[in-house]
Each structure stands twice: as structure tokens, then as C-alpha cells.
Amino acid sequence: MSDANDDERFASPAPGTQEIRCSACRAALESPGRATVSFLLVDQLTIPVVGCADHKEQFSEVCGLTTEDTARVLDHRPAGGVQCPGCRHSTHRSQHPVVPVTDGAVAVLGCGAHVDDLVERFRTGLWTRHRLTTSLPSD
């Protein structure tokens, strides 16, 4: 598990400066297609995401710390589809926000409002994980 410095560094990278060391993430992000798009289900949101399986799962776990339900990644289109029209059509845009996750990254293919919500959940999840894993000072 990463320490607080890693969490903080990866939660707010400077645009374009985050090096993606995970070759599977790089490959998925460079040529996103049906095989690399998954769907993150968290609360009432269903948002397409792209990255390697491991980093999508890590992203989901951190986001899941901000909800009472379990956040899940589906490798297939959910039965109910993507309800938000902006998120449903976002895969047609040429640029998407990329969120660093340890040495990889996840692209969030949603509408602006849902992307902002998900990135904020991720940052809050990192903070929560840090708080849960920080040792209490002993007197």
C-alpha cells in the first residue's frame, strides 16, 4: 500500500507531467477501444473508464471508500446502459481527463459534471485511506 506522500502526489499531478509507467495502461490509453473500456458503477453513476485491469480496480477501490455501497468495475456494458446522455456520448470526444493511479492511470470518459464528481471521490478516497492507515500517536 502506498504512503501519504504517494497518495498526495498522485491525487493532483500537474497537467501533462504524470509519467505513466504501466505499459498496459499506456497501451489502453493510446488506443482505447471496446476491449479496453470498462464501466465503473458507484452509487447511481455508471461511467466508462479506460486503463489496465489492475489500475481500474485500484481506482474503483479508492472511489469505493466514499460510498456506502461497493464500487465495481464491469468489463461489459451494464444491462441498464449508461443513463446520463453526456456520459453515454463522451466516448466520442477526442480528449478525456486522465487520473494517475500509482504507476498507471485511468481515463474517465464521462460528462464534465460526473468526471468532476468521480475525480473528487478519488481524491476523497485517497485522503480517507490515508487517515485510516495512519498510526495514532501514542502518549
The predicted-structure confidence for 57-86, as pLDDT tens digits, reads as follows 999 999 998 888 888 898 888 877 788 888
Q: Please report the DSSP string for 74-113 in residue order.
A: ESS--TT---SHHHHHGGGSS---EEEETTEEEEE-S-HH
pTM (predicted TM-score): 0.77
Tally the domains of the chain: 1
Question: 129 with 65: CB under 8 angstroms?
Answer: yes
Is 109 domain-assigned?
yes
What cell was used for 51?
486503463
Question: 38 with 49: CB under 8 angstroms?
Answer: yes
Is 44 domain-assigned?
yes
16 pLDDT tier (thresholds 50, 70, 90): very low
Domain span including residue 31:
4-133
Alpha carbon distances (Å) from 47 to 7, 106, 132, 139? 23, 12, 27, 46
Is 110 domain-assigned?
yes
> Could you read off the pLDDT of 94-114 as tens digits, one per residue?
678 899 999 999 999 889 899
Is 88 domain-assigned?
yes
Whether 5 shows a pLDDT value over 60: the answer reads no
Is 128 domain-assigned?
yes
Which is more confidently placed, 79 or 50?
50
Alpha carbon distances (Å) from 23 to 68, 78, 104? 33, 27, 8
Is 139 domain-assigned?
no
Is 138 domain-assigned?
no
Is 97 domain-assigned?
yes
Per the listing, cell 502518549 goes with: 139
Separation of CA 74 from chain center? 13
